[in-house]
Structure 1
Amino acid sequence: MGSQSFETTTAFETLRCVDCDEHHDPAVVTHQCPDCGGILDPSYDLSGVELTAEELATRPFDSMWRYEELLPFPRETAVSLGEGATPLLACPSLAEEMGVEAVYLKDEGRNPTGTFKDRGQSAAVTAAAGHGADSVALNSAGNAGQAAAAYAARADLAAHVFLPDRAGFTQKAMTEIHGADLRVADGEITDAGDAYWETTAAADEEWYSTKTFVTPYRHDGKKTMGHEIAEQLGFESPDAVVYPTGGGVGLLGVHKGVGEFRDLGLVDDRPALYAAQAEGCAPVVDAWESGATRHEAVPATEIDTACNGIAVPDPGASPLLLDAIDESGGGAVATPDRAILDAAVTVARSEGIEVGATCAAAVSGAFELAERGVFGDDDTVVLLNTGAGNKDVDTLRAHVGERETA
């Protein structure tokens, strides 16, 4: 790596290991805990943060960096493409169908590369640049790889992206268009991960990882979704948030973000969090329903879903995710692919909103939770559309064709 000053915000104090509780200097430690290999979480001293609703009202709603006091790095040093500041759209037809007071859809498809992954890669690539890295690397199901390629290009860094062959054409094409070194592995995201580890171990130069929970900063960037949801609802937490869940980074981010607003007195409490998965790959749901404290990995031969973005058979941070779900009073739900794709079409035709095929797991999951009587008739429910509908347009169009010919 090269050398560069590592500038942080005042409140960002340390990286705390969630496993052994050791604290580390973020200017020195770049990734996982050097003592035990555990996940590091940016830790903040909020006692000196004077962030109020009145102060936020004076700032433009232009990117996630409007919350810079609660982020690791100052806005002026951020590698940014204007990520965040996505709309929260009222969905009255969905609310009526679910029998609740209000349904809102947080449309992360409006991000620069079309998904919420931009928030995490903005923070992670900012860290890489601050640490003087020359290149970044990761494996991904697709969207994070595309985002990493874009933010690396913005920072003038090389990028090495490992995707499974089942990743979408758009993600593969745009990764290369941004100038990244794309390597495609046969199989699933875990196979792309194996290729990543084998290649990085043999590389002549050091590649700075922006992998989920290897870098401490991806989930911290994504917590700004929680900040925005609370602010957009007038500094009220919704009753429930339903999140399409693969590795669970975004859901953990929302939990942390709303928790920070609660600690600052901006909201009263966190929402109940619900992880929504596809039945063909639902390790988090299986763990939740069995009362386990961590998941059992889904064998590659048993993965049976077209929802590529959440087809994560071995989510390494499942203990954190299950704890967050439990602490929030939420749950987990799995629905079949047909219901997920039907939900994407329903939202497009009843609300005019384009929801990604994978992301529609949040919508079908919410319908299932409503059917089970989980929501009250005066509840406010927020659904996360983590990616643009055109990311998986072939899947959605094929599904519509099948419905019309059935």
Structure 2
Amino acid sequence: METTAAFAGLVCTDCGERFDAETAPGRCPDCDGILDPDYDYETLELTRETLSGGGSGLWRYEPLLPFPESVAVTIDEGSTPLVEAPALAEEMGVGAVYIKDEGRNTTGTFKDRGQALAVTAARLHGATDVALATAGNAGQAASAYAARAGLDSHVFVPSRASFVNKAMINVHGGDMTVVEGRIDDAGAAYEAAMADEEWHSVKTFVTPYRHEGKKTMLYETVEQLDWSVPDHVVYPTGGGVGLVGMHKAATELRKLGLTDELPAMWAAQSEGCAPIVEAFEAGRDRHEPWEVPDTICGGIEIPDPGASPLILEALRTSDGGAVATSDDAILDAALTVAKQEGVEMGVTCSAAASGAMALADRDAFGPDDTVVLLNTGAGSKDADVIRSHLMSKGI
């Protein structure tokens, strides 16, 4: 299994045991905890120039990834723009607001970053099939990257997943199972199938590599700000893969002496499904499952996020926090960003904008602060929902 020079294997975030990547393709073999790629940082002699000096897309950061670009399953993911939003900055009363626009990725979301690494790992493990349960976008990305790798994909989605996601899973040749109900129902169907099949999982925090691909969003953001660390990063949070990955990236840059600070990480959720917000405000280290999820933001309607300890640790370690806003406020934020800045944010992603506005109202940001909002997916993914909200206002 070809890996990068500094990649030192996988560490369990629960029991602390270490494993060779070749022998541990999924969760911890000892305790079923989440595995995290680890590196021998002391062997890395990186400067700002050499960290991002070669390769294309997210593979420009090869020294801090598990696999070299030479073996990667890639469709030119990464290198998405950081769009300045001066009207939002004025409205929030801060120094600057930027939108990291992940809608520019190949399949229209940041899921491409995670699936590029996850499917690369699957191919290096000799897999013929990959599988996952997903709210939709990760399934579209997985089917695309599996097609690129010559693998079969099996995707379990809830019936409420968007038409775009379902259509494109099929277009990429994915074997799609639509399950009545919500994400937990799709997850149960996936687990039942996995008990009978020898498929390689590319599911959130089952594969060790999806958060590793998404951490590159933070590398890019800091580089695009001329190596200035933003004061705040607001992330629309369901499973929290990207938030955990970006916080890890920030700690890596500081450990390597390339930056001095950590950005405050903020988890933005809908009031209809906010287990992270509830746990953070209650001072707990783990969430309690949200009993009746009810939000139009399907991508973050995750009532039982298995990595909540990692999410909550990232929020507290970075001096960030968590915020929930109503679906109406989230949809209003999507309209505001589109009208004022021209950026098309997906409905789920607009929780970051809505959350940031609420945080600004609470004086969580300083007048000179730089705030980065993660637009994790293109507005075209659910343009009908945003337009319907616009029409409901009589506009």
1:77 aligned partner: 71
Residue type of the alignment partner of 1:404: G
d(CA) in 2 for partners of 1:95, 1:401? 27
Aligned match for 1:346, one of 336, 343, 364: 336
1:95 aligns with 2:84: no
d(CA) in 1 for partners of 2:154, 2:76? 23
Structure 2 residue runs of 5 or longer lacking an equivalent are none
Q: Secondary structure at the match of 2:226?
A: coil
Q: CA deviation at 1:50?
A: 2.5
d(CA) in 1 for partners of 2:46, 2:52? 11
2:103 aligned partner: 109
d(CA) in 2 for partners of 1:79, 1:232? 25
Residue type of the alignment partner of 2:337: V
CA contact (8 A) 1:64 1:84 kept: yes
Q: CA deviation at 1:260?
A: 1.0
1:378 aligned partner: 368
Within-5 A mapping of 1:178-217: 178-203=172-197, 206-217=198-209
2:40 aligned partner: 45
CA contact (8 A) 1:222 1:254 kept: yes
d(CA) in 2 for partners of 1:55, 1:12? 17
CA contact (8 A) 2:52 2:61 kept: no
Q: Secondary structure at the match of 1:202?
A: coil
Residue type of the alignment partner of 1:199: A
- TM-score, with structure 1 as normaliser: 0.96
Aligned match for 2:221, one of 229, 232, 238: 229
Aligned match for 2:296, one of 306, 324, 348: 306
Aligned match for 1:388, one of 354, 358, 378: 378
Within-5 A mapping of 1:235-314: 235-299=227-291, 302-314=292-304
Q: CA deviation at 1:266?
A: 1.2
Q: Secondary structure at the match of 1:192?
A: helix
Residue type of the alignment partner of 1:391: K
What's the CA shift string for 1:28-77, capped at 9, x where partnerless?
111111111111000001112222223356547x4000000100000110
CA contact (8 A) 1:244 1:277 kept: yes
d(CA) in 2 for partners of 1:58, 1:16? 28
d(CA) in 2 for partners of 1:144, 1:82? 17
Q: Secondary structure at the match of 1:34?
A: coil
d(CA) in 2 for partners of 1:30, 1:106? 31
Aligned match for 1:332, one of 322, 327, 336: 322
1:124 aligns with 2:118: yes
CA contact (8 A) 2:52 2:60 kept: no
2:6 aligned partner: 11
CA contact (8 A) 1:236 1:268 kept: no
- TM-score, with structure 2 as normaliser: 0.99
d(CA) in 1 for partners of 2:31, 2:333? 43
Residue type of the alignment partner of 1:37: D
Q: CA deviation at 1:263?
A: 1.2
1:20 aligns with 2:20: no
d(CA) in 1 for partners of 2:342, 2:45? 39
Residue type of the alignment partner of 1:77: V
d(CA) in 1 for partners of 2:221, 2:257? 15
Q: CA deviation at 1:293?
A: 1.1
- How many equivalent pairs are there? 395
d(CA) in 2 for partners of 1:339, 1:371? 13
1:3 aligned partner: none
Q: Secondary structure at the match of 2:394?
A: helix
CA contact (8 A) 1:284 1:322 kept: yes
Residue type of the alignment partner of 1:104: Y
CA contact (8 A) 1:281 1:304 kept: yes
d(CA) in 2 for partners of 1:352, 1:210? 34
CA contact (8 A) 2:247 2:314 kept: yes
d(CA) in 2 for partners of 1:80, 1:378? 38
Residue type of the alignment partner of 1:16: V
d(CA) in 2 for partners of 1:404, 1:254? 40
Once superposed, what is the RMSD of the aligned Cα atoms?
A: 1.0
Structure 2 CA distance for partners of 1:59 and 1:12, relative to 1, 3 Å: closer
What's the CA shift string for 1:85-137, capped at 9, x where partnerless?
10001000000000000000000000000000000000000000000000100
